[in-house]
Amino acid sequence: MNSCPSGLARKISILRSELEFGSYLTYCPHGSSFEAMKSLTFVRDHLKTGRLATLSAVIKAMVRARPQLPFADFFANDTVLVPVPGHAVSSKDSFSVTRLICGIMHFEGLCKDVADCLRRTQKVAPGYKVASKDRPTPEQHYATMAVETLLPSSDHLVLVDDVVTRGATFIAAASLLSEVYPRAAIQAFALVRTQSTAAIFSSMSEAVRGTITNRPWGTFRDP
């Protein structure tokens, strides 16, 4: 068991500089087109509230499209999914959208197992609700999360979140897991990625595979 002392005074280990990620859908929080508004409604009214019927339908559609998806190899017979905790202090008994997503994905045969081993030990600002300058950094996420239970044996871990913006939470979570399981291959998957530039947003249905890069001056996601 790996405990996490509270406060940002905690010594920060070397964070990962890169992490491979995939996402199935795209949403635009600032667009005014029909497609942008549809994506915003999906995230606000269905994804963030954990509507089981909607999430099940989306993941079933993803399973049907799996052979053509750029991240299809993320989900293999040896994959263990690790739900990423939200911004609030969490426990095993609290509701979590990411746990729900992982549970549906497991039911649909996308992984070997789900390991609910990450906890939020201190609250941080919800990244999707605050201005860019106020979003928590990877260091802040790292200092407020902990690995609390042992994973089942696996060499392939996939972190799962509902939405990825820049990827700071993923970098922190992957760094924590790398310390405890240094031999495991770690990737990240978000059901939805944010596309803040309305001019280049065209459709919710845009599955991508890319890289999250962490540098001293910021965290960046491509695409």
Residue 5 pLDDT exceeds 60? no
Q: List, for residues 205-216, the tens digit of each pLDDT value.
A: 999 999 999 998
Q: Are 1 and 149 in contact (CB under 8 A)?
A: yes
Please report the pLDDT score of residue 8 as a whole number. Answer: 40
Distance CA 100, CA 115 (A): 12
Q: List, for residues 83-96, the tens digit of each pLDDT value.
A: 999 999 977 778 99
Residue 1 pLDDT exceeds 70? no
The pLDDT > 70 percentage for the chain reads 91
Kindly list the domain boundaries of the chain, sorted by start residue: 18-222
Question: What's the CATH fold of domain 18-222?
Answer: Rossmann fold (3.40.50)
Q: List, for residues 10-53, the tens digit of each pLDDT value.
A: 445 589 999 999 999 999 998 999 999 999 999 999 999 999 99
| Mean pLDDT of all residues belonging to the chain | 90
| Confidence category of residue 128, pLDDT binned at 50, 70, 90 | low
